Amino acid sequence: MDLSLLSELQPAQLRMMLPPFLGQYVAEPSSRDDVVAAMTRTIDGLDDQALGAMLAHMATLGEEYALYDSESGARALTRAWAVQMLGTPEVEGLEHLVEAVEAGPTVVFSNHLSYFDASALDHALVVCGREDLADRLMVAAGPKVYSDLFRRFAAASLATVKVPQSTSLGHTEQMSGRELARRAIASLKAARSGFEEGRFLLIYPEGSRTRTGRMQAWLKAVYRYAELVPCRVVPATLEGLDTVMPVGTMAMRPAPTKLRFGPSFEVGPKEGRQALERAREAVVDMLPEDMRPDDDEPAFV
């Protein structure tokens, strides 16, 4: 679908098209039927005014390098979908995240397996009875997150900070250093405003999903997000999301997942680089052996 048409859709059209549209991304017929039924029940609980607000939000989502709040209708639909796809995930160390966020601004660094990773973290917090914490989550999101209707809908359900992807990644847009710096500064300002609103930030420092299941090198420039304000860093790991939504396909299937948080640590002034190194070491230690970086994988690029 041409995203420019979002502004022309009417609420009644969205009500009819969205459940089957989302259902087509579910691989197994029985699971697809469950997802469509859950989406239909949820969207039927939204009036035309709420659906109009969702359309307006998605129509301009990702146009600037800025902080975008979650849209309540999209969030309700995605959370209903996550129940069908993820069930009850295994969660360890949630107390570390709670302690950090209650203390002040917090950055979570995690490995990256699928397009559904951030929604899976949101879902895990809700399942654990911490919807209040899920509602304070903001996610660093590259331009591809806003590039088609399926991804843009998922992005609308979360608070996102649009960030430029490193030009060192071969699949990303190439741009001048000056333009990259301009976009990065706008993203940093947006993240800072999120901290000031009481949010915490989730970042995937690999910059892209792993193709092998093993964690890739981290992007060095990510350290700047840990220096915006005095903060705490929480290392985190995800498992199983590469089965839910494998790289190379947009088809999803239910699978067991696990989310683990490690102990947090404080970041002092100008200690972002050291914090990033320490977080990476912690994430590697928390990962199963078959998900740790290959021996010849550089730590940072």
CA quadruple 163, 288, 122, 43: dihedral positive or negative?
positive
Give buried/exposed letters for 2-36 (b at 16+ CB in 10 A, else e). Answer: ebeebeebebeebbeebbebbbebbeeeebbebbb
Domains and CATH numbers, the chain: 64-291 (3.40.1130.10)
Helix (H) and strand (E) counts for the chain?
A: 11, 9
In this predicted structure, what is the pLDDT of residue 168?
A: 61
In this predicted structure, what is the pLDDT of residue 250?
A: 87
Torsion, CA 273, CA 195, CA 121, CA 37, rounded to 10: -150
In this predicted structure, what is the pLDDT of residue 167?
A: 64
Averaged pLDDT in 10-residue chunks for the chain of 301 residues: 84 95 93 94 97 95 97 97 94 98 98 97 98 98 94 96 77 78 96 98 97 97 96 98 93 95 96 98 98 97 96
152: how many CB neighbours lie within 10 A of its CB?
20
Over the Cα atoms of the chain, what is R_g? 19
- Give the C-alpha distances (Å, rounded to integers) separating 94 from 99, 265, 273: 9, 15, 25
**Alpha carbon distance, N-terminus to C-terminus of the chain:** 35
- Give the C-alpha distances (Å, rounded to integers) separating 10 from 4, 18, 52, 54, 152: 13, 12, 7, 11, 18
Euclidean distance between CA atoms 69 and 156, whole angstroms: 8
In this predicted structure, what is the pLDDT of residue 1?
A: 66
In the chain, % helix, strand, coil (3-state, to 5) comes to 50, 15, 35
Q: Are 199 and 140 in contact (CB under 8 A)?
A: no
In this predicted structure, what is the pLDDT of residue 169?
A: 56
User: In the chain, how long is the greatest CA-to-CA distance?
Assistant: 55
